[in-house]
Amino acid sequence: MANCGDAAKLRQAFVNLVDNAVKFTPAGGEARITGYIREGRLAIRIADSGIGMEPEMLADVIRPFHRLRSALDGQHQGPGLGLPFAKIVIELHGGTLFLASSIGAGTTVTVELPVRAAALNTAA
């Protein structure tokens, strides 16, 4: 079987996305991961009930080294590379990363990746 991508890089991209969902969701909140295949694409959705962001800030959080100021500032350290890394890795694999968020209602990250026909046949 031909190589379909870099499994280690994809794994790290998803670890970063799940880590963000957990990190920015206060105690008592939740993070959910769902997935489905539609039109030859695998969609994985990571949704949290965390602090959320203003929709106009979404473009900023995918810029390397950019961290948003929030109510949790000082509690979470990091260089601001997790989300930009995930976006680049997913795009290099022919996928897309979509963000949706609102203050106090959480954030949803949806990743869509192409699925090869051979992989679909194996999963069936």
Is residue 48 assigned to a domain? Answer: yes
pLDDT digits (tens, 9 = 90+) for 6-54: 999 999 999 999 998 998 888 999 999 999 998 889 999 999 999 888 8
- Asked if the model's pLDDT at residue 120 lies above 50, the reply is no
Query: Is the CB of residue 87 less than 8 Å from the CB of residue 62?
Result: yes
Amino acid at 47: A
For every residue of 15-48, DSSP letters joined together read HHHHHHHHHTS-TT--EEEEEEEETTEEEEEEEE
Is residue 98 assigned to a domain? Answer: yes
The count of structural domains within the chain is: 1
Is residue 2 assigned to a domain? Answer: no
Is residue 110 assigned to a domain? Answer: yes
Query: Is the CB of residue 72 less than 8 Å from the CB of residue 51?
Result: yes
Is residue 1 assigned to a domain? Answer: no
Residue 92's φ and ψ, nearest 5 degrees, are -65, -20
* Residues in CB range of 122: below 8 A, 6 or more apart: none
Is residue 99 assigned to a domain? Answer: yes
CATH number for the domain spanning 99: value is 3.30.565.10
Please give the residue range of the domain that contains residue 44: 7-123
pLDDT digits (tens, 9 = 90+) for 63-119: 765 555 554 455 555 556 788 899 999 999 999 999 999 988 999 999 999 987 555
Which CB contacts under 8 angstroms, 24+ apart, belong to 5-12? 5/93, 6/89, 6/93, 9/89, 9/92, 10/89, 10/90, 10/93, 12/85, 12/89
